[in-house]
Structure 1
């Protein structure tokens, strides 16, 4: 009997899954396998929110496989060692998996290929599973990757996407192969507003968004109070939704909202092609400005105030509290909080990136680190010295203060526009507020940043 292994990584779905489809088509029986990689957990990339969401995704994937006569085999430990053990137990001939794009993923894939080939087995790596357009598909004439988004997007938009792969009807699994019990209990330390994980939840969410949200995406995606983004980011991170399928569907839907939505998916691919070409950008400046950042040692009190949502700037505090409560933050709010930490407080962007990675369900090295670098001015932003003013941005994207009131109840009775600048309240109105004064004057922060970048006003 010919047996293959379908190795799941960041692609926890049955629909539009080329490695699973290929494994089913190539063999008499298939082992659907997921390995809880000890290296991922020891590096700190499995904090409570993502661990809980992963558990839900694995349970849902197992349920979907059982409906097709199969089951998910779960193992824990060294990634390569566990895959090779399953291959030996199943007497499998080949392994199918999605291509990864971080330095860690590429090195892990190379180790697995060497180990499998040493035992006479083959590894098939499938592109365009966790991205719509794989890194390296489009490149400028003078470099191995695009460093500016707009020219990248022009070429990205012209790339023909692979067709969507149908979910297999049957996934027969050989009996001798056993796995660990899939966790279904609560994980301690999670955010109380954690979203539901798994492909079923993802596809239900997508269907609702296609019906009620996509058409207006271009006009409302920056509106903080409207909360009108897709919220697909966690599902894209864990692969319960396919980027290629989403682009296909959005293009068929058509309209300005769909076009703006597709552009955001292109940003996701853009960051992956940057990280694939420059893996060190996960921790090092992509374009150093010679910054001598303040660190946790030199700015502990201000960093703590930022993390806990008590900076005295309502939109910043609202966003940081949303992060802790939901394990998610609105994209506009991510830009504002990152600008505030890196440029107004002049704190090392890695401090903020690490805090985000701890709480975000969609905590993704490429998106998180490179968006932080973009906002810190050390990444691909063509205007590296831009600073987002939290007051003017709050008035623009939360004019009535509804977003602030949702997350900063201390200000619930303050009317706009003063809710954006509560320090301007006077007399009893100010005295009755249990809300801190700003931890820094915006003008002082701007002056410090400009002097640090040697850009005098």
Structure 2
């Protein structure tokens, strides 16, 4: 009897899952396997919000497999050792998994391939599972990746995507294979109070509801901070509970400017993954160095602390940082604003901000988080190195009546209209009513400091 192993990583679903369907096509039985790797903890990537969301995703994946007669096998330890142990226990012929983009994922694949081949087994790595278009599938002449988004988007848009695969009807798992108890969300400490529920069923429900309700207005409304019209699918895409390929197909089938704007955002996700796959070092190093002389010392540390706590004195920045702390998620416009404020107005190293985001974001993804931070810091791809977002102007533009600020900075709720974005301009007695800090820096002074520092090189 032929047996195959499917190693789940960032693809925690049964719908549109090429490795699972390929394994079922080759073997009479499969072992759906997830390995909890302690190296993730040691690397500092096991943030509580993602661990809780992961537990939801694993429970949903197990439920989806059980509906089809199977189950999820979970283990803890080095993934190569655990996969090889499972392979030997069931005498599997091969292992199937989705291709990864990070240096960590690439090294794991190489180690696993060598170990299996030494034992006479084979590893099949499937592209286009985590992203809609596989990393490296489209490249410009003379390079292994695109460094500018617009030409990448043109090529990406003309790629023929594979058709989404239906979930299998039956999954047969060998009886004799041992499994650990999967992690429980309730056992994870320090989780954000407003964290969303994870899992494939929840992700598919959200995708359908958003396409039906908000897709048509997405193009004009996706930057509206208070309107909150974004899909909020990023955590489900990060864990693979929703297929990026299926999301593109479903949006395109709906049509319209809003759906196309949504597809463009999915392309940004693929763009960053193809950069990371080609340049794994950008997870920590500048893609294009500007030889920044980042601020250090006690004053910079105090500014960083105020930024993290949502106490900078700039209401829209503080609102976004408090949303991050409460939900483990932040509106995309908020991410741009807070990143620009830290890296340029405060001139603190973008890596400090990226690390804080990775500590809290449920969708914390190395490719998208690090490269979006670099894009705003001016050290990344396709960036405008000297552009600085003014939080007052941005607040008035994207939160014109202050509803977003009032939601997350309740101590300013008594200020009506756009004046909420400049509380320091209130008269003395009125200003004294609000328990809210003065700005940590004058915007003009911060801009001048940034330009002087950039001009030193």
Short-chain TM bin:
over 0.9
- Could you say which residue in structure 1 is the equivalent of 2:328? 327
Supply the distance in 2 between the matched residues of 1:359 and 1:41 (Cα, whole angstroms): 14
Supply the distance in 1 between the matched residues of 2:405 and 2:383 (Cα, whole angstroms): 30
- Could you say which residue in structure 2 is the equivalent of 1:224? 225
- Could you say which residue in structure 2 is the equivalent of 1:404? 405
Q: Are positions 1:270 and 2:271 aligned together?
A: yes
Instruction: For 1:264-413, list aligned pairs within 5 A.
Output: 264-295=265-296, 299-413=300-414
Supply the distance in 2 between the matched residues of 1:353 and 1:211 (Cα, whole angstroms): 33
- Could you say which residue in structure 2 is the equivalent of 1:148? 148
Q: Which runs of 5+ in 2 are unaligned?
A: none
Supply the distance in 2 between the matched residues of 1:358 and 1:383 (Cα, whole angstroms): 27
Supply the distance in 2 between the matched residues of 1:286 and 1:96 (Cα, whole angstroms): 32
Q: CA, structure 1 residues 295+276, in 2 after alignment: closer, same or farther (shift >3 Å)?
A: farther
Q: How far did residue 185 of structure 1 move? A: 4.6
- Could you say which residue in structure 2 is the equivalent of 1:50? 50
Q: How far did residue 428 of structure 1 move? A: 1.8
| Secondary structure at 1:96 match in 2 | strand
Supply the distance in 2 between the matched residues of 1:123 and 1:297 (Cα, whole angstroms): 51
- Could you say which residue in structure 1 is the equivalent of 2:202? 201
Supply the distance in 1 between the matched residues of 2:178 and 2:65 (Cα, whole angstroms): 15
Q: 8 Å contact 1:37–1:76 — kept in the other structure?
A: yes
Q: How far did residue 14 of structure 1 move? A: 0.3
Q: CA, structure 1 residues 173+295, in 2 after alignment: closer, same or farther (shift >3 Å)?
A: farther
- Of 288-297 and 64-73, more deviation after overlay is shown by 288-297
Q: 8 Å contact 1:295–1:351 — kept in the other structure?
A: no
Supply the distance in 2 between the matched residues of 1:297 and 1:419 (Cα, whole angstroms): 30
- Could you say which residue in structure 1 is the equivalent of 2:22? 22
| Secondary structure at 1:417 match in 2 | helix
Normalised by the length of structure 2, the TM-score is 0.98
Moved over 3 A (4+): 295-298
- Could you say which residue in structure 1 is the equivalent of 2:259? 258
Supply the distance in 2 between the matched residues of 1:295 and 1:269 (Cα, whole angstroms): 34
Supply the distance in 2 between the matched residues of 1:102 and 1:400 (Cα, whole angstroms): 41
Q: Are positions 1:430 and 2:431 aligned together?
A: yes
Instruction: For 1:101-140, list aligned pairs within 5 A.
Output: 101-140=101-140
Q: How far did residue 297 of structure 1 move? A: 5.5
Q: How far did residue 455 of structure 1 move? A: 8.3
Query: Cα deviations across residues 92-122 of structure 1 (Å, max 9, x unaligned)?
Result: 0000000001111001100000000000100
Query: Cα deviations across residues 53-110 of structure 1 (Å, max 9, x unaligned)?
Result: 0001001110111111110000001110011111111110000000001111001100
Q: How far did residue 142 of structure 1 move? A: 2.4
Supply the distance in 2 between the matched residues of 1:211 and 1:252 (Cα, whole angstroms): 12
Q: CA, structure 1 residues 141+402, in 2 after alignment: closer, same or farther (shift >3 Å)?
A: same
Q: How far did residue 298 of structure 1 move? A: 5.5
Query: Cα deviations across residues 238-268 of structure 1 (Å, max 9, x unaligned)?
Result: 0000000011111111000010000000000
Q: 8 Å contact 2:376–2:383 — kept in the other structure?
A: no
Q: 8 Å contact 1:296–1:303 — kept in the other structure?
A: no
Supply the distance in 1 between the matched residues of 2:402 and 2:273 (Cα, whole angstroms): 35
Q: How far did residue 207 of structure 1 move? A: 1.1
Instruction: For 1:15-94, list aligned pairs within 5 A.
Output: 15-94=15-94
Q: CA, structure 1 residues 205+339, in 2 after alignment: closer, same or farther (shift >3 Å)?
A: same
**Superposition RMSD on alpha carbons, in Å?**
1.1
Supply the distance in 1 between the matched residues of 2:5 and 2:425 (Cα, whole angstroms): 64
Supply the distance in 2 between the matched residues of 1:268 and 1:185 (Cα, whole angstroms): 27
Instruction: For 1:160-175, list aligned pairs within 5 A.
Output: 160-175=160-175
Query: Cα deviations across residues 95-154 of structure 1 (Å, max 9, x unaligned)?
Result: 000000111100110000000000010000000000001111111112111110000000
Q: CA, structure 1 residues 296+380, in 2 after alignment: closer, same or farther (shift >3 Å)?
A: farther
Q: CA, structure 1 residues 240+296, in 2 after alignment: closer, same or farther (shift >3 Å)?
A: farther
Query: Cα deviations across residues 378-429 of structure 1 (Å, max 9, x unaligned)?
Result: 0013421100000000000000000000000000010122100000000321
| Secondary structure at 2:354 match in 1 | helix
Q: How far did residue 183 of structure 1 move? A: 2.3
Supply the distance in 2 between the matched residues of 1:241 and 1:297 (Cα, whole angstroms): 43
| Secondary structure at 2:455 match in 1 | coil
Q: 8 Å contact 2:56–2:185 — kept in the other structure?
A: no
- Could you say which residue in structure 2 is the equivalent of 1:96? 96
| Secondary structure at 1:299 match in 2 | helix
Q: How far did residue 296 of structure 1 move? A: 6.5
Q: How many residues align?
A: 456
Q: Are positions 1:179 and 2:179 aligned together?
A: yes
Supply the distance in 1 between the matched residues of 2:322 and 2:274 (Cα, whole angstroms): 32
| Secondary structure at 1:323 match in 2 | helix
Q: 8 Å contact 1:38–1:79 — kept in the other structure?
A: no
